[in-house]
Structure 1
Amino acid sequence: GTVFAGPPNFNTLFREFSDHRDAGSPEIEPVYREGRTVRFTDDPATGTPPADRPWDGPRVLYLMHPSDPIVWWSPNLALTEPDWIGERPGSDVLEAMVWIPFVTFWQVTADLPFSTGVPDGHGHTYKAAYVDAWKDIMRPEGFTAQDLNELKGIVSPQH
């Protein structure tokens, strides 16, 4: 399996999976082909949708924070309203966010250089999420909750 954290919006595979997501699934947390191989989440500690489907075989997990401008930035923002603008905003995005031609493009563009200087779990900072993501991908035997928390403390000391 593999983990992709904060994929850039122009990534061909990411766009394919997101653009061809299952009907009714939101762009901020898409479900692709019922989650058979590829899944998306903003927080793997709380689950990887769809929770009601088994995840057997190869696993690909995309980590995407709703506030990560690298995931959402696209030159298309200048003239085209993305689906995510009309969806329920993610946990760390203002509900007042709206799409305005050119303005939204420049707002997201301005966020890009600051996306890594934010607390873990926001923007393009995925430190503790890597631990939960790789646990979901690798399914290590005998790995306890205590082991998980100790590893998170090493990877993300402020956890």
Structure 2
Amino acid sequence: MTTKIIVSFHIESTFDPDLIFKHFNPNTITKNLKVIPIYYQKYDPDFSGNIITKIPSNNYTASWIYRIADIVNEEEDECFDFVLKRLLTETISSLFTVEKKKFIRKIMNDYDACCYLRISCFDLGDYITRINIPKEVMRNLAETNAEVEVCSHSKNIDHYKAYKEQKLYQF
């Protein structure tokens, strides 16, 4: 059995169809974090697009998303916990230096933005899988006031129509 793991870090401005909030420029985030995102968008209420919150391509919010992913192949004796820990460690080392944490907090304060780390696992089957998040990851998220979301799915990505067209979930 193979399991797909996606670890993504999201920075998003407030959903704003009424044009009352400030919104960041995602290019500024890329420049300051020195990391290329898998997806970003500028706030553009004049563009007629998707208006679903928390999903990329929503023109009523600005967003910046970093993502790494891997496939765990249990037939090759790969360990789910080892692969997840490696992905989380890489995310922390890429995004959570002292300087970058200060910048993330500044973006959150200046634009009332939210940040969250999403761990998405697919093709887990019908059994319960425990997700271990290392203390270092939780400490770094707490220091930036970011949240954690864990989304576990029993079937493959292709089974879930909401994920099908999103670049975030493509391998």
Give the TM-score category using the shorter length: under 0.3
Structure-2-length-normalised TM-score = 0.26
With CA pairs under 8 Å and 6+ residues apart, which has the higher RCO, 1 or 2? 2
TM-score, structure 1 normalization: 0.27
Q: Which has the higher strand share?
A: 2
